[in-house]
Chains A and B, each alone.
Chain A
């Protein structure tokens, strides 16, 4: 009995032990590899989400740009970005959720796309999306980690000079444009914007190149000119049908984030800002009902920037833009026409039309894209205050104001151009915590984990405060 028992013991243990312990440490619920297409789709989705979002923790640029105004909790309207760690969130989403997934997709494509021509097209499209992401990073923060970024071997990446990064991005775009080959296979459905169409992506890349070129018009005029001219020559957007729209759907979680923030949440945090309703009222803008609801008096009115505003007293964002499947818009024909108008004014070789004609086309395209009619646009443009030839001010004021209106619901883009063109002039937010935010400060996390590099960057750009003007913002 005893012997049997004693013999049993080691036998039992042998049976109970797992031989190769580490084989247990493989998560059966998560894949070790996925397709490059699924990573691309997610990264593109994340990119459009952050640009489109109205979440007060991430994207508060509609408030900075005084398109909207907060009702009761007016912290962000008064430039309090620290309480909700907005710089951290914006930064993290771009590096981690957008760029890192694009990079993972790029690495996987090299493996799972075996047709070299298809791979070339796909890498080009992916790289265009990355370039666009970097454009937002440098125009938001200034110097950021670029050459040493997205490298897990370096936990302390140094920051690169923003203008240098910008030049490198333009070079990348050139290579991408050259690489795109019409007639060869591409991403297909994984690309929710153009279904991988190389021709559309080439137009997009040229339009983006034009946008980026004009962005540095005051910072590196020579490069701005050559890049803009080559983009125009190569072919930019020619109609609203070219617009880069992201097809959100009605079912969560793939809805337009604005619907989540404004409708699904049940909150009533935003009303129109008086800045935009005042301008639109003055101009008799036909987009008012497309942008806003009527206030209780039957007019369009907005809350004073930086001041608490009763929700029931003012116009609200229009129902259309708060619907779940309302498409995201990352680049459009109207914007391109404004860019052409500005290129013309700056003396670039910008095609056949005059600045006025481009401006007219831009305003018309915007009105049509928002759902207005050609007649609306024509009537609008006949007004002396709108018509390019009669409206007051410099080209910067005329283009700046109308572009800012066209950039309604695209706060980040409005912010870049309004800082650069200095129009429209935005009134100071009441009781603001700082001067007008010309950038976001570096994330708090960078102070904790990468402070030597952050401090060097802060010194290089002229101080890690929101008032510091960035490289492209010369006036």
Chain B
């Protein structure tokens, strides 16, 4: 050390004396491709301190000591040049851009930049344009198909959540979402949705907060896939990390403005086609002798003679055959505002089926980013406004994001910086999800499962609007705008029986929400020596959100108003010492030592009116009919204290050995078991360094292998049993072990929990060929997660549904493959291809076993309407779908004597598996002069989905296949006696083919009633044309005339344009119910939306 300092002093002295006579050199730096001046380029004299930066017009002026021989001209993203200084005092340079240069540096855990050769684990980097140029407001969903090992699932609700899982589900019941880290700040990506929402019962999908990131602010994204890459993050890194690096102020003033307009149109292949032959009803059992499809025993017009009336109370389409000559009193005959009031009208199929309920929304997006840097520091300021309208009436999400970042050099060694990202997201009229939420109406479940094909959507809209006009004119009608097609009886102004008018629901029973959020950090960097750096940082992610839900007077459900407040704060204090020292010419040692304190707190309050609303239109808790029940409060705290260290030894830039260790102590685990270690070790071998001279076809080659152990702490507050307080009963206090509101569950706490552990191994190869025209990255990994902290489902005879235990293990094994190539590359034309492919297999290898050897064979993760469960089943992949199956004989379905399928005795047969066989994406991009075109195809192979929409929708006879011809060529809806009915395909128990036709003149033969659950499990695979981008950049010759303008890009963008192939009828196989571990189930699925965007980007 002493020697080192001495030699340092010597060096400094020499540097001070060597140069004495100066001269000034000036010049201009331009870009090679476009000839435009490059501002902010760094100019340095070789071997001398100091330097200069080009101005906005690319000009520079630098003082050169007399001994100076050459200038180094460098600029991020361009190939640096060294120019000899000769007699001339003017040097003009043109720099060639270097796409490769960026990929040479890899951002790794904690934001540490590493030379690619020294990275011995899988890390895939994307340029920020990957998430910004498609103009999608959701950063997570933009990653689909672009990174191997990463599985993105999104649903089709407006602003709904996106599921981001790296390398499969590892923890059976805890969070498996990848951790987002923005410039070193871990960002919460919590689930905002209720348990009811997640199990398809009902509720709004409030999205997940990872979408509060402005895609335009993203410089690059690095996905750290394996545990070795993310072990330094401790327990939080166990699911992989998505590192987002935001834009930093670059030299020179840069202003980029984006303005875009998006049109959304539903993809009709993801919505049902309705039959147009039969109208509302469940079958022939209305009227006097219960044999009619129409009601014939009610006198509507008061003439004393019974009239023909549609069975209005029924939400199905197994009714009377359409006949324009048949005059029937329909729902609008009971609407006093309707021109058809009191009139019988022709019994015909609706001109406007529910497809017309969906709007074609226009959304717009504006953003501006201003950045600059100067010798003392840099700053950037960005603003993004995204105003999205949904396909449902009265749905809108507004997002405003401001971000500011600045650095300042206090001294040459001390730098201070701060970043702040402020966002406010406001939602109104988010889509209801699930089957039939008490509070959140889902029109898709209405239209897909329970509908009358004679009901015209546009007439319902008109009825709602007329009702609104009427109530505006006469207060006596206030609250009676809900003129529905599905009234409880045949009286004027009847309350609904099962369904409100969908327009009433959308316009009166909407939710509103807002989330204000600050993500930011302040940091200081102190460069102790040129090889040692100290960094201290305080970072904060905090948001405050309000969700308000309403149910208006006049609704089917109990009128209500609810308010939910949530405050979330996470703070991190980090201190990090990093060093990088060249020990000898061949040996480099770099490393780090750090501490981290993480504190999280969630506080929330939920209150809801009780028993209805007193005054119409007032959404206030004090407008409750009965005294409200006590609000539900949550106050959850967690603190994790971590220390960590890492070292990387590199020999000849060829061999790398890397080791890290972290120790965390968490507040959620019991004392004595609360601290745990995460070690990792990685080795890399860049074989191309050895072959460089001999093999010119090999541009780069690296082998890497690693092992890591990471873990997770427990959910908050599960080490002690607590009681639930229930609303007092007529003055009597009530308390219970099982929860009394919401989730009815009793889980036994465990004071002896220890952390769950995950061990992973990975080997990979990275290579590029032919001057990097072809690149390959392949990885094989295996992860075993043991001692999982599970609410082990136990016999409820214990008094509990589940008990927290360290039990069970899951193994994930997989292959990740990325290929990139440039098959054609000329100065005018370039074709690039990127392929990503992922295959993950997982298996539940252990569940709960007691000392006596009793073993649980299944852990139900969620149970759904229809008796379907999604499970962790022993010796099966995680995420088996279980329910009733057919009975088979030699592979054929067995049919009973009555012509109906036999069903398995138990309802826990494995009938599907939510996991894809593999996923992949192919992106092709072409550039011809100023035009570019790219398209991304996203593929998911296999996996299954249970569709509750098909389960009910087929039963209620709305779909075309329920009203077709049978095997005799007759209308299947005719009575069997007239040649109707359907013939189920299968054999009798004795193996002979079925010949017993079953009736189809009423509901039951299709759909849930007579078919096992298995009949509604479909292959969830798809091939999607995910993104198409056509871009045009104004030619530079033209730009030069535009004064300060540096570039103008015009692009046409299409997202989710075409599902090239799918096996799930009537819906988008990608759509799920929510965010989280439970997938493979669809209910009330919204159609996918094709988005067409025009975007103009101007750079100044």
Choose among A21, A253, A296 the residue with the greatest number of B CB atoms under 10 Å from its CB.
A21
Are the CB atoms of A22 and B674 closer together than 8 Å?
Answer: yes
State in angstroms the CA–CA spacing of A417 and B298 once bound together. Answer: 40
Q: How far is the CB of B780 from chain A (nearest CB, A)?
A: 33
Are the CB atoms of B796 and A91 closer together than 8 Å?
Answer: yes
Are the CB atoms of A150 and B733 closer together than 8 Å?
Answer: no
State in angstroms the CA–CA spacing of A468 and B873 once bound together. Answer: 29
Are the CB atoms of A308 and B717 closer together than 8 Å?
Answer: no
Are the CB atoms of B575 and A446 closer together than 8 Å?
Answer: no
Closest B residue to A463 by CB, please name it: B905
CB-CB under 8 A from B35, the residues of chain A are none
A82 touches which of B524, B674, B726, B907 (Cβ 8 Å): B907
Are the CB atoms of B611 and A252 closer together than 8 Å?
Answer: yes
Q: How far is the CB of B9 from chain A (nearest CB, A)?
A: 18
Q: How far is the CB of A195 from chain B (nearest CB, A)?
A: 11
Does A388 lie at the interface of the complex (its beta carbon under 8 Å from any beta carbon of B)? no
State in angstroms the CA–CA spacing of A308 and B292 once bound together. Answer: 13
Are the CB atoms of B639 and A307 closer together than 8 Å?
Answer: no
Are the CB atoms of B799 and A100 closer together than 8 Å?
Answer: yes
A448 and B793 in contact, given A13-B573, A249-B730 (Cβ under 8 angstroms): yes
State in angstroms the CA–CA spacing of A453 and B298 once bound together. Answer: 57
Are the CB atoms of A254 and B738 closer together than 8 Å?
Answer: no
A72 and B314 in contact, given A83-B867, A96-B746, A100-B746 (Cβ under 8 angstroms): yes
CB-CB under 8 A from B746, the residues of chain A are 96, 100
Does A156 lie at the interface of the complex (its beta carbon under 8 Å from any beta carbon of B)? yes
Closest B residue to A448 by CB, please name it: B858
State in angstroms the CA–CA spacing of A291 and B800 once bound together. Answer: 38
State in angstroms the CA–CA spacing of A9 and B595 once bound together. Answer: 10
State in angstroms the CA–CA spacing of A21 and B664 once bound together. Answer: 12
Are the CB atoms of B867 and A99 closer together than 8 Å?
Answer: no
Are the CB atoms of A266 and B557 closer together than 8 Å?
Answer: yes
Are the CB atoms of B298 and A267 closer together than 8 Å?
Answer: no
CB-CB under 8 A from A379, the residues of chain B are none
State in angstroms the CA–CA spacing of A292 and B595 once bound together. Answer: 73
Are the CB atoms of B635 and A444 closer together than 8 Å?
Answer: no
Are the CB atoms of A96 and B800 closer together than 8 Å?
Answer: yes
Does A92 lie at the interface of the complex (its beta carbon under 8 Å from any beta carbon of B)? yes
CB-CB under 8 A from A354, the residues of chain B are none
Are the CB atoms of A38 and B906 closer together than 8 Å?
Answer: no
Are the CB atoms of B795 and A450 closer together than 8 Å?
Answer: yes
CB-CB under 8 A from A31, the residues of chain B are 722-723, 725, 735
CB-CB under 8 A from B282, the residues of chain A are 72, 308
Does A33 lie at the interface of the complex (its beta carbon under 8 Å from any beta carbon of B)? yes
CB-CB under 8 A from B907, the residues of chain A are 82, 444
State in angstroms the CA–CA spacing of A448 and B1009 once bound together. Answer: 24
A312 and B641 in contact, given A29-B633, A100-B800 (Cβ under 8 angstroms): no
Q: How far is the CB of A38 from chain B (nearest CB, A)?
A: 4
Contact segment of A39-47, A201-209, A275-283, A395-403 = A39-47
B285 touches which of A29, A192, A307 (Cβ 8 Å): A307
Interface string of B994-1033 (1 = CB under 8 A from A): 0000000010100011000000000000000000000000
Contacts of A92-117 to chain B: CB distance below 8 A: 92, 95-97, 99-101, 103-104
Q: How far is the CB of A323 from chain B (nearest CB, A)?
A: 14
CB-CB under 8 A from B668, the residues of chain A are 25
CB-CB under 8 A from B850, the residues of chain A are 154-156
A82 and B884 in contact, given A30-B724, A247-B730, A252-B611 (Cβ under 8 angstroms): yes
Are the CB atoms of B857 and A451 closer together than 8 Å?
Answer: yes
State in angstroms the CA–CA spacing of A449 and B872 once bound together. Answer: 12
State in angstroms the CA–CA spacing of A75 and B286 once bound together. Answer: 19
Q: How many residues of B sit at the interface, in one of the four size bands? A: 35 or more
B860 touches which of A100, A309, A448 (Cβ 8 Å): A448
CB-CB under 8 A from B626, the residues of chain A are 250-252
Are the CB atoms of B737 and A100 closer together than 8 Å?
Answer: yes
B796 touches which of A17, A22, A95, A267 (Cβ 8 Å): A95
CB-CB under 8 A from B556, the residues of chain A are 266
CB-CB under 8 A from A45, the residues of chain B are 729, 734
CB-CB under 8 A from B575, the residues of chain A are 9, 13
Does A190 lie at the interface of the complex (its beta carbon under 8 Å from any beta carbon of B)? yes
B597 touches which of A13, A100, A157 (Cβ 8 Å): A13
State in angstroms the CA–CA spacing of A43 and B726 once bound together. Answer: 11
CB-CB under 8 A from B801, the residues of chain A are 92, 96
Interface string of A32-56 (1 = CB under 8 A from B): 1111011101110110000000000
State in angstroms the CA–CA spacing of A249 and B316 once bound together. Answer: 37
Contacts of A391-420 to chain B: CB distance below 8 A: none
Does A382 lie at the interface of the complex (its beta carbon under 8 Å from any beta carbon of B)? no
A96 and B733 in contact, given A25-B667, A451-B857 (Cβ under 8 angstroms): no
Are the CB atoms of A447 and B908 closer together than 8 Å?
Answer: yes
Q: How far is the CB of A472 from chain B (nearest CB, A)?
A: 21
Does A145 lie at the interface of the complex (its beta carbon under 8 Å from any beta carbon of B)? yes
Interface string of B851-867 (1 = CB under 8 A from A): 01010111110010011
Q: How far is the CB of A65 from chain B (nearest CB, A)?
A: 22
Q: How many residues of A sit at the interface, in one of the four size bands? A: 35 or more
Closest A residue to B854 by CB, please name it: A156
State in angstroms the CA–CA spacing of A16 and B741 once bound together. Answer: 37
Are the CB atoms of B497 and A267 closer together than 8 Å?
Answer: yes
Are the CB atoms of B667 and A103 closer together than 8 Å?
Answer: no
Does A144 lie at the interface of the complex (its beta carbon under 8 Å from any beta carbon of B)? yes
State in angstroms the CA–CA spacing of A85 and B864 once bound together. Answer: 10
CB-CB under 8 A from A264, the residues of chain B are 558
Q: How far is the CB of B116 from chain A (nearest CB, A)?
A: 32
A150 and B797 in contact, given A266-B495, A448-B908 (Cβ under 8 angstroms): yes
Does B496 lie at the interface of the complex (its beta carbon under 8 Å from any beta carbon of A)? yes
Contacts of A1-38 to chain B: CB distance below 8 A: 2, 5-6, 9, 12-13, 16-18, 20-35, 37-38
Contacts of B245-289 to chain A: CB distance below 8 A: 282-283, 285-286
Does B638 lie at the interface of the complex (its beta carbon under 8 Å from any beta carbon of A)? yes
A152 and B867 in contact, given A31-B725, A268-B313 (Cβ under 8 angstroms): no
Does B666 lie at the interface of the complex (its beta carbon under 8 Å from any beta carbon of A)? yes
Contacts of B1050-1100 to chain A: CB distance below 8 A: none
Interface string of A136-163 (1 = CB under 8 A from B): 0000000011001111101111000000
Are the CB atoms of A27 and B526 closer together than 8 Å?
Answer: no
Closest A residue to B577 by CB, please name it: A9
Are the CB atoms of B799 and A448 closer together than 8 Å?
Answer: no
Contacts of A182-201 to chain B: CB distance below 8 A: 189-190, 192
A445 and B595 in contact, given A41-B729, A312-B298 (Cβ under 8 angstroms): no
Does A84 lie at the interface of the complex (its beta carbon under 8 Å from any beta carbon of B)? yes
Does B199 lie at the interface of the complex (its beta carbon under 8 Å from any beta carbon of A)? no
Are the CB atoms of A310 and B488 closer together than 8 Å?
Answer: no
Are the CB atoms of A155 and B795 closer together than 8 Å?
Answer: yes
Interface string of B558-587 (1 = CB under 8 A from A): 100000000000000101000000000000
CB-CB under 8 A from A84, the residues of chain B are 867
Does B374 lie at the interface of the complex (its beta carbon under 8 Å from any beta carbon of A)? no
Q: How far is the CB of B556 from chain A (nearest CB, A)?
A: 5
CB-CB under 8 A from B497, the residues of chain A are 266-268
Does A233 lie at the interface of the complex (its beta carbon under 8 Å from any beta carbon of B)? no
Interface string of A236-255 (1 = CB under 8 A from B): 00000000000101111110
Does A471 lie at the interface of the complex (its beta carbon under 8 Å from any beta carbon of B)? no
Are the CB atoms of B730 and A449 closer together than 8 Å?
Answer: no
Does B150 lie at the interface of the complex (its beta carbon under 8 Å from any beta carbon of A)? no
Are the CB atoms of A83 and B1008 closer together than 8 Å?
Answer: yes
Q: How far is the CB of A129 from chain B (nearest CB, A)?
A: 15
Contacts of A280-308 to chain B: CB distance below 8 A: 296, 307-308
Q: How far is the CB of B287 from chain A (nearest CB, A)?
A: 8
Choose among A84, A448, A453 the residue with the greatest number of B CB atoms under 10 Å from its CB.
A448
With A23-B667, A157-B798 known, 8 other A-B pairs at CB within 8 A are A22-B719, A29-B634, A96-B746, A96-B799, A145-B795, A190-B732, A296-B298, A311-B313
**14 residue pairs from A and B, CB less than 8 Å apart:** A16-B573, A21-B639, A21-B667, A35-B735, A38-B735, A91-B796, A154-B850, A251-B610, A254-B730, A264-B558, A308-B283, A312-B489, A312-B490, A448-B793
5 tightest CB-CB pairs across the interface, nearest first?
A: A100-B799, A30-B722, A448-B858, A145-B797, A156-B854
